[in-house]
Structure 1
Amino acid sequence: METIGGVRWRKKALKPIETKRKAGDESEIAAEEEPLSPAARLFHEPSFNVHIIAIMGCKTRIYPQVVKDKLVHTLLKHPRFSSLQVVDEKNGGIMKWVQTEVNLDHHVIVPDLDPNMESPDKFVEDYISNLSKSTIDKSKPLWDLHLLNVKTSESEAVGIFRIHHSLGDGTSLMSLLLACTRKMSDPEALPTIPVKKNSGSDHSSGGLWHYLIGVWSVLGLVWNTLVDVVMFIATALFLKDSPTPLKGRPGLEFTPRRFVFRTISLDDMKLVKNAMNMTINDVALGITQAGLSKYLNRKYAELGKKDEGTTEKRNNLPKDIRLRSTLLINIRPSSGIQGLADMMEKDAEAKWGNWIGYVLLPFTVALRDDPLDYVRVAKATVDRKKRTLEAIYTFSIAEIVLNFFGIKAASALSHKVITHTTMCFSNLVGPLEEIGFYGHPMAYLAPSSYGQPHALMINFQSYGKKMTIVLSVDESTIPDPHQLCDDIVESLKLIKAAVLAKGLVKDDH
């Protein structure tokens, strides 16, 4: 018997993993062994041993054998999911990808569960939290899938993918997961993912005026990039965020996490988006800023031992709070789910890898008389960050440090930047229609991660007409993550109500 995620499950006798090469066949070794990229090696440093978690709620019971049969023809076709990461001691300890035979009994974990358990939602939450106390065994490809056939408040069963970050960046891994799904309305069709529309105006006419606008835009891009790079270097050296109840202590990368999530209406976010002439990302950032402000205001009232009832109406926030999120941006163009599906089904080539740059996103913490000010400020922040090459230049800085000073120095640089900021924030776009994971209709999709030095990570994930807000927290820093999640959800309600009260849009649904 073995204990995983706090549950005991029976482990079958398994054959040892063997690589697909014969002893002494040097030509085959050269063809099948490939060095890990610098970014992939970075995620094996002790301070960056990051694992990505993708929680999938299903509307039906999950059938493990069906999942295993489908994995053979999809995910296992991806070389990263069927390769070991081996240290080559003869060549200076370089880590290499070495293809291997994958035994799915090592990767697909199906614990025996009590169908009449007292609190299924709490059990699933505790199970995922317990996963964050462990790492994946390096004697096998670094991923596993946990199938929990237990009915929760939002699903009939739950699947939990756990993938080591060295296999790829978060966006690529989520795209790969979606490439394994199909529309429920058409089992042969891949999901439809929204594509960003080009909002640029037509510059084919206008003469001198458009030329001046173009020059001004270039100058603005150069200036913004210079400012952002200087801020990045300052953050790596000395510039720290303000100490707040959200700012974690050193060493949080080694602590377990608590994962909580809420599902809200994407239509409500679209209503605000259309009324305010902005994007869903602007709205997500706006309601997050509102929720964090509400939460911190309450916390500072408690720290100051203010009378009950003053937490909502009175401003208890310190002045000039510096609170920033670190965004890890993949600067390599994504292959998209069609390209990844073709790679798995037709052995086609697809772009893959961790090419990660940093963007430091400032959050404004304040109490607003007008709730719409939260999204207005968020839009201004995002618009400013769109006019910068910060991610490309921070990636280049990390590359220079790596090439001249080695992986330890690059790890130290990244660790400094992250620990000097407060949190991590992301917003991922999901399918427009209902999808099935190997025939199992999906109720929700909630991605997150653990192993990062932040005490707080907030992910937004859209799916159909829903948006899931996922929090990954260190409980010693944030002991009430459900309250924080509720504050973000409540902020959307207040902002939507303000939009309707001002008559900016009619609520047709």
Structure 2
Amino acid sequence: MTTCTSKLIKFGEDGLEPMNPSSQCLNTSYLSLGIIGIAESEIPIDVEKTMIRFEDHVIVPTFPQGLSPESYTQYFEEYLSKICMDKLSETQPLWELHIIKYPTRGAAGTFAFKMHHALGDGFSIMGAIFSTFKRVDNPSLPLTFPSTISRSKVQRNIFNSGLSFISQCFNTINDIVSNVMHTAWFGDRPSAIRSGAHLVECLPVHITRITFSLDDISQVRKKLGVTVNDVIVGIIFHGTHLYTKVMEDQTSSKFRKTALVLLNTRMLNGYQSVDEMLQKNMWGNQFSFIQIPLPSYSDGQNVDLKEFILQAKKIIQRNKTSIAVHINGLLLSLMGSLRGSEAVSKYVHSTLKSSSFVVSNLIGPTEKIACADHPISNLYFTVTGSPQSLLFLVMSYLGKLTITISGEKGFIDLPLLVSCMNKAFEKIVKEA
């Protein structure tokens, strides 16, 4: 039987500052999550130039000499899978910097920032990392990010506002009840994308990524009258549908499959500096989630990719008229106050495990950035320790959108899944 244990740090002793309740629930015997941010350098990495004094936190792996970029790509992917499974030492600050100085298929060198999720969510951690980067075109200027504020403005009269309030109340109650019932009793069954293995978070993973053009996605967005997020979710849903259609029989293909979409609950547009987040009490883990069922189709039914995107738009739009996302956060805080972080961690673990896969999204800068004078060609991230067989982690940077796919090794056929995702993207760009 597979086991997965970790020593828990005792905060409040030896001068250590206690974590806030939302962070404590991510570092317990039930759940221990981590975030790895990867920055690909356009030029070979000068280790001496980038080395800092925290020797215990900076790791420079050694690979065989004289190999091709293709071979080094395989070594890097295996190394990335390994550090995903390695536990951070809890006798020291929970972060590491891995410097891979070998050229891969897509980079001359690679930085991998590994941090425990207890330090903060993706918004906090990426904000801290971005504060150390500089713009290539003008280092004195701040980084800029795509706007996350909707441009649509709808004039509402009293009648429409009343209907909107009633709809909001109904959707909120429905979402909370359905989320609790799904987590407690009606979790997804094992399928081609969910093994249901015991302690799946401790099993080896394989990680790959695909990159799409944001210009192509924006063209689809304009033609269909949807948002970029609608297009992304639609492509992920359709690519997953194509994959399960190949891997499953007719019976299991009809089972309910649920995506857990993680959301940042801060009312902010873009990242802020560490000092600003600390002053405004914005640092830490401030996130919630929504459960989205994948559209299901009967065998032989003609599946239109546009329908996946429009269905994603419909579901996301409905969740905008629900405040369940924020109430979920309040309920978790209340549970933590009454029953402690272990109870919250157990519930979050159950919520993650009862779904088929996770989708998480972060935005990156719109201009090229540099890390220690090394221009960065691409940015992406992954999450470790999540009790699922499949994760989709999405990040934009420099006109590109990279989807990192983390799959349970030996269970998820990543080459096939990547092929299905590419087919879904090519189809919607061609037909939209």
TM-score under structure 2 length normalisation: 0.90
Residue 230 of structure 1 corresponds to 177
Q: CA deviation at 1:253?
A: 1.6
Q: Secondary structure at the match of 1:35?
A: coil
Deviations 1:171-208 (A, max 9, x none): 221222222212111112222101134434364xxxxx
Distance in 2 separating the partners of 1:176 and 1:409:
29
Distance in 1 separating the partners of 2:281 and 2:109:
32
Aligned counterparts, 1:75-474, within 5 A: 103-118=53-68, 119-201=71-153, 203=155, 210-249=157-196, 250-300=198-248, 304=249, 316=250, 318=252, 320-334=254-268, 336-340=270-274, 351-366=282-297, 368-474=302-408
Distance in 1 separating the partners of 2:269 and 2:240:
34
Q: CA deviation at 1:452?
A: 0.7
Q: CA deviation at 1:440?
A: 1.0
What is the aligned counterpart of 2:419 among 473, 476, 486?
486
Residue 495 of structure 1 corresponds to 428
Q: CA deviation at 1:112?
A: 3.1
Deviations 1:258-305 (A, max 9, x none): 1111122111111111111111101100111110010000002xxx5x
- Report if aligned partners of 1:172, 1:334 keep a CA contact under 8 Å in 2: no
RMSD: 2.4
- Report if aligned partners of 2:42, 2:107 keep a CA contact under 8 Å in 1: yes
Q: Secondary structure at the match of 1:243?
A: coil
- Report if aligned partners of 1:284, 1:427 keep a CA contact under 8 Å in 2: no
In structure 2, give the amino acid aligned to 1:48.
Answer: L
**Aligned in 2, Cα 1:67/1:351: closer, same or farther, shift over 3 Å?**
farther
Higher Cα radius of gyration: 1
Distance in 2 separating the partners of 1:336 and 1:34:
27
- Report if aligned partners of 2:148, 2:270 keep a CA contact under 8 Å in 1: no
Q: CA deviation at 1:210?
A: 1.0
Q: CA deviation at 1:66?
A: 3.1
Identity among equivalent positions (%) equals: 24
Q: Secondary structure at the match of 2:223?
A: helix
- Report if aligned partners of 1:296, 1:317 keep a CA contact under 8 Å in 2: no
Q: CA deviation at 1:481?
A: 1.2
Q: Secondary structure at the match of 1:473?
A: strand
Count of aligned pairs: 415
In structure 2, give the amino acid aligned to 1:178.
Answer: F
Higher RCO by CA contacts (8 Å cutoff, separation 6 or greater): 2
In structure 1, give the amino acid aligned to 2:56.
Answer: H
Gaps of 5+ in 2: 1-11
Gaps of 5+ in 1: 1-28, 70-102, 204-208, 305-315, 500-509
What is the aligned counterpart of 1:64 among 19, 37, 47?
47
What is the aligned counterpart of 2:30 among 47, 51, 68?
47
Distance in 2 separating the partners of 1:317 and 1:487:
21
In structure 2, give the amino acid aligned to 1:380.
Answer: K
In structure 2, give the amino acid aligned to 1:325.
Answer: A
- Report if aligned partners of 1:270, 1:280 keep a CA contact under 8 Å in 2: yes
Deviations 1:13-45 (A, max 9, x none): xxxxxxxxxxxxxxxx99x75321112221221
Residue 83 of structure 1 corresponds to none
Q: CA deviation at 1:396?
A: 2.0
Distance in 1 separating the partners of 2:276 and 2:307:
45
- Report if aligned partners of 1:240, 1:421 keep a CA contact under 8 Å in 2: yes
Deviations 1:447-471 (A, max 9, x none): 1111010111101111112111101
Q: CA deviation at 1:328?
A: 3.1
Distance in 2 separating the partners of 1:279 and 1:181:
29
- Report if aligned partners of 1:246, 1:456 keep a CA contact under 8 Å in 2: yes
Residue 100 of structure 1 corresponds to none
Deviations 1:414-452 (A, max 9, x none): 222121111110222211111112221111111111101
